[in-house]
Structure 1
Amino acid sequence: MFFNLTLKISGSRYVKSNLHFLEICQVGVYLNQLISNEDHVLAKMAENMKEKFDKHWGDTEKMNKMVFIPCVLDPCHKFITLGFALRKMFGEKGAALEIGVRTYMESLFNEYTKPVDSDKNGQFSSTEVGTSDSRSVDSRSGGEFGNFFEELQKHTSEKGGASSKSELVKYLDEEIEVGKSDFDVLLWWKVNSPRFPIHSEMARDVLSIPVSNVASECAFSTGGRILDSFRISLTPKLVQALVCLQDWLRSEPQPISIEEDLDFLEQLEEDFIMPQLHGSNARSPIWNHYEKLEEKEDGSWTVKCIHCGRVAYYRTIMELPP
């Protein structure tokens, strides 16, 4: 279970924030079951793991409610699934936390609604000015009928007006998508964006938030070493060079294999080593840039750069590290 959880949460090529809390909830419930296990060793191990788990997920008052919003934005879950998971994990505190998440969801939706309302006011202000006179004339000319139309307009706006129900309420009132294992949440919001224009913008921003900062398939593997060539330990100068050349390196069509000996590279940067070609006594082409001044008994050399005149001391080696 823990392995599958790591793969789901640490994935980098699909949306995972909508399932993050549900997977965490599964871990919490599973640990609670193991604590009451008849195997005392397993139960003790589960207690230690649950203690660490509660340090991150035990205090409902300190939780960032943004963690729960992606689950609500998943049409397969919404508050139906989230409410059940919260009560399953936190008991009575879960019900209070659900109310807090609803309030947070509404405030977040209102933040996305404000720019849209301001744009509409700017676009339709001239139209409203042009039609206000005609409406006032109709109401005045109608006499008692004017009161009827006012009551009719009020009744329509309360019972079935377009603005009587916000997008958020409409979305939450709809039935959840059931029985779709290959459900694509991003595609759903793309297709339904005409129905929920404001809500889809919020879903676009929230669902794009990564849950983990390191992808599991790039950081480690139980089957073999798949570390990226430039995420392994490098000397400071090489790191600086890679940062400067990252645009060129990332555009390389073929994978770059870098095998290195950290001590060897550090000594090379400090001008302690003048390497020779691997498997032979032939000197490296780097010798072409130096003039030999003196050879010492320990096999080291005093050389001078033919370009800048810098004097350095080297010791030769028979081969490069494998």
Structure 2
Amino acid sequence: MSVHLNHMYVITIIFFLDLTAGDGVPTFDDWEIVRRVIKVLEPFNHLTLKVFGSLHITSHSLFEVLTDVHCLFDRWQDCGDLDIIFMTSKMRDKYNKYWGEGNKINMLVYLAVIFDPQCKMSFLDFGVNLLFPNVANDIMKMIDKELHCLFNEYSSNAGRIQLFEGRSSSSTNLYSSMEIDQSEMKTGLAKQKYLKKKKQVGLESKSELDRYLGENEEVNNSSSFDLLLWWKMNSPRFPILAQMARDILATPISTVASESAFSTGGRVLDSFRSSLTPFMVKALVCTQDWLQKSNDAINLEDYVDELQTMEDGNT
């Protein structure tokens, strides 16, 4: 503990000397600049939490975050504050480096928006025209083509499964097909067959995908809207699309949450030990493994001097 306090005291002295040797401690004008910058960065914190969530699906929200960032840039560009305008210009350049070409964005980013019943194609079309007005038509044609190709692939797989299940149950349906209900005789077997075929043709005239896209978007402004629950409740109406939604929406936007969960180094390097050398980090990680493996208790205070010597010799 005394070693830790001494380190904190030395850091405080160095920080004080650095401030007095330079421009001095922050003034009221400096803090005013900080307040202005916070107002700019606060929306980014909100969007970051929205994207990096690990307890809810995030794949459908990335495109909305991109459009929100674009709108923020436009608002700040016209705010009249030269410092904010300059900072926005730098941020926009960095943004365009990764998201400036719509035809190079991963197709799953677009498809996930379509499988959000609150957005579907209408919001996607609006957002694409907002972000990439010069190539919006080409991007939407590409998305539509990929969406129908993917739907046809899932449909063919579902058809093969149904064919296999139909063959396995053909013996049980043999006797049931021989039974004729009296109501069928009154209506007429041929007429019953005609009406059934007419109904089937009517359903087949519009695919499951066309029926889903043709329905109005869900109107729900509440943040508690459960997207997975919606697909679970509507899977009988859209069985193939429900399978597609399950696979597409399960794709995480970021791997930060999973990496931090399995990162030992993240638990060693914290805000109080951010200046450790790579050698010391390795030593701490290995020591942690040995402590968990050993049945004998080890008092780390007995090895403080030795660890300090190792640290000084490898800096």
Question: TM-score, with normalisation over the residues of structure 2?
Answer: 0.61
The question of whether the paired residues in 2 share the 8 Å contact of 1:29 and 1:89 is answered with no
CA distance in 2 between partners of 1:91 and 1:4 (Å): 27
CA distance in 1 between partners of 2:215 and 2:250 (Å): 23
CA deviations on 1:105-140 (whole Å, 9 max, x unpaired) are 222222222221112223335899x99xx9xxxxxx
The question of whether the paired residues in 2 share the 8 Å contact of 1:70 and 1:207 is answered with yes
Q: CA deviation at 1:236?
A: 3.3
CA distance in 2 between partners of 1:263 and 1:98 (Å): 65
CA distance in 2 between partners of 1:207 and 1:267 (Å): 52
What secondary structure is seen at the aligned counterpart in 2 of 1:25?
Answer: helix
Q: 19-28 or 174-183, which moves further after superposition?
A: 174-183
1:61 corresponds in structure 2 to 103
Higher helix share: 2
CA deviations on 1:120-174 (whole Å, 9 max, x unpaired) are 223335899x99xx9xxxxxxxxxxxxx999988865543x3x332221121111
Q: CA deviation at 1:98?
A: 1.9
Structure 1 counterpart of 2:242, from 200, 206, 219? 200
2:267 corresponds in structure 1 to 229
Letter in 1 for 2:141: I
- Report whether the alignment pairs 1:5 with 2:51: no
CA distance in 2 between partners of 1:266 and 1:44 (Å): 45
2:61 corresponds in structure 1 to 19
Structure 1 counterpart of 2:113, from 46, 71, 84? 71
Structure 2 counterpart of 1:93, from 108, 130, 135? 135
Higher strand share: 1
Larger Rg: 1
Q: 7-16 or 148-157, which moves further after superposition?
A: 148-157
Q: CA deviation at 1:204?
A: 1.3
Structure 2 counterpart of 1:213, from 249, 255, 260? 255
The question of whether the paired residues in 2 share the 8 Å contact of 1:20 and 1:211 is answered with yes
1:307 corresponds in structure 2 to none
Taking a change above 3 Å as real, the CA distance of residues 149 and 183 of structure 1, as seen in their structure-2 partners, is: closer
What secondary structure is seen at the aligned counterpart in 1 of 2:205?
Answer: coil
Taking a change above 3 Å as real, the CA distance of residues 52 and 263 of structure 1, as seen in their structure-2 partners, is: farther
CA distance in 2 between partners of 1:103 and 1:32 (Å): 31
CA distance in 2 between partners of 1:76 and 1:238 (Å): 49
1:254 corresponds in structure 2 to none
Letter in 2 for 1:48: K
Compute the RMSD of aligned alpha carbons.
4.2
What secondary structure is seen at the aligned counterpart in 1 of 2:117?
Answer: coil
Letter in 2 for 1:81: F
Taking a change above 3 Å as real, the CA distance of residues 167 and 228 of structure 1, as seen in their structure-2 partners, is: same
What secondary structure is seen at the aligned counterpart in 1 of 2:54?
Answer: coil
Structure 1 counterpart of 2:209, from 152, 168, 176? 168
Structure 2 counterpart of 1:177, from 213, 218, 222? 218
2:180 corresponds in structure 1 to none
CA deviations on 1:284-322 (whole Å, 9 max, x unpaired) are xxxxxxxxxxxxxxxxxxxxxxxxxxxxxxxxxxxxxxx
CA distance in 1 between partners of 2:242 and 2:304 (Å): 50
The question of whether the paired residues in 2 share the 8 Å contact of 1:235 and 1:266 is answered with no
Letter in 1 for 2:214: D
Consecutive unaligned residues in structure 2, runs of 5 or more: 1-42, 178-190, 271-275, 294-299
Q: CA deviation at 1:51?
A: 1.0
What secondary structure is seen at the aligned counterpart in 2 of 1:229?
Answer: helix
2:150 corresponds in structure 1 to 108
Consecutive unaligned residues in structure 1, runs of 5 or more: 135-147, 220-226, 249-257, 273-322
CA distance in 2 between partners of 1:111 and 1:266 (Å): 62
CA distance in 2 between partners of 1:202 and 1:245 (Å): 47
Sequence identity (%) = 34
CA distance in 1 between partners of 2:57 and 2:192 (Å): 50
Count of matched residue positions in the alignment of Structure 1 and Structure 2: 239
CA distance in 2 between partners of 1:231 and 1:206 (Å): 35
How is 1:115-264 mapped onto 2 (pairs within 5 angstroms)? 115-124=157-166, 157-159=200-202, 161=203, 163-181=204-222, 182-215=224-257, 229=267, 235-236=281-282, 239=285
Q: CA deviation at 1:96?
A: 2.4
Structure 1 counterpart of 2:71, from 26, 29, 42? 29
Taking a change above 3 Å as real, the CA distance of residues 94 and 33 of structure 1, as seen in their structure-2 partners, is: farther
